[in-house]
Structure 1
Amino acid sequence: MEASNHDEFREFVAMRSTALLRLAVLLTGGDRHAAEDLLQIALMKAYGRWARIEQPEAYVRQIMYRQQVNRWRLRRHRAETTVPVLPESAHEGADSDSELRIALWAALRRLTKRQRAVVVLRYFEDLPEAEVAALLRCPIGTVRSTAHRSLAKLRDLVPELGPQRPRGQAQPLSYSPKEMQG
């Protein structure tokens, strides 16, 4: 690799590694060590093709998505360790945002791997359904149904995320019908 490309790569890593690590942590379900490994593998693969990459961040993210999906496929039959009660992880008197984040992390860990991937890609990464389907190599209908079920499960696990309405019940109006006429 030429010296200028090497410097560009180092600058990219210095500027974007925190955001990329955050994505890796989400993809691995909160496992910081696995996230660091995932990011390292993605950066190694990107380094070898750096001179030909037009959109480096998008390229590294796609490597991370695909690498994590491959890990899930390889570990499909490995049992997860579960505990009846989560250890205490928040300080007493912590603000409600911190408590909500902790509850959300715990709920994300309880989703299946596919559900977690769809939620992370769709709502944390804000990718369109078609792109999520392409990355996970599944039909767009699977992404939609998985996202729907995942959000319902998250709302059941963390009621603070939003109201859970019975099926078929419409979203409450935020305006009155008279306002619509005038």
Structure 2
Amino acid sequence: MHGEHGTRGTGGKRVTSAQEDAYLEFVAERARALYRSAYVLAAGDTHLAEDLVQETLGRVYAHWKRVARADSPAAYAQTVLVRAFLSLRRRRSTGERPVGDLPDRAASGPDTALRLTLLDAIGRLPPRDRAVLLLRYWEDRSIEETGRMLRMSNSAVRSQGTRALVRVRALLGDSLTDLVPR
């Protein structure tokens, strides 16, 4: 039968064809959403966003049997993505950030300047602030879920989210009103 013959997975564990098919289906359904989140976390750095998604999908594959049984494999993958981002930021020895990079493709629409300005402001925040804003406002996660994902207390999520929003507002200054279409 199709599911009985396995292929080698990571760590020498057997992954059945059915499990691999389920994983590939999961990737097809969730890769774009993971990339969008990674892009926000990476402050528009497309290469870093792609690396984060690949790291996330690799970790999810390595634990696919457990992930597939989780209440929400999508939430599990999102948690892995955010933790991979925070771990990468802690490991980096310098605060180097590329500046002046152009997007890979031209954006269009009335809110392009606003989106780029917001992305730039979010990119200036510390990594944990970015993660809190992403989960709470981009992903619309609850305080409790955000806390579990980031291993923070609910009160820490609230206070860090509030401080991050204050920082974004300070970074934007008056320029935001200039970008809003009239």
- TM-score with structure 1 length normalisation? 0.74
Match of 2:90 among 60, 67, 73: 73
Q: Does 1:27 align with 2:41?
A: yes
After superposition, the C-alpha distances for 1:63-92 in whole angstroms (9 at most, x for unaligned) are 1121112112222x4123476xx578798x
Contact 2:43 2:120 in 1 (8 A): no
RMSD of aligned alpha carbons: 2.6
Q: Does 1:39 align with 2:56?
A: no
Question: Mind listing any 5+ residue stretches in structure 1 that lack a counterpart?
Answer: 163-182
CA distance in 1, matches of 2:136, 2:127: 14
- Corresponding residue for residue 24 of structure 2: 10
Identity among equivalent positions (%) equals 37
The letter for the 1-side match of 2:159 is: S
CA distance in 2, matches of 1:17, 1:33: 15
CA distance in 2, matches of 1:161, 1:130: 31
Higher Rg: 1
Identify the range of structure 1 (99-108 vs 27-36) with the bigger mean alpha-carbon deviation.
27-36
Instruction: Quickly say closer, same or farther: Cα 1:3–1:35, change in 2 above 3 A.
Output: same
- Corresponding residue for residue 58 of structure 1: 75
Contact 1:100 1:160 in 2 (8 A): no
> What is the aligned residue count?
157
- Structure number with greater CO (CA < 8 Å, separation at least 6) is 2
Question: Mind listing any 5+ residue stretches in structure 2 that lack a counterpart?
Answer: 1-14, 178-182
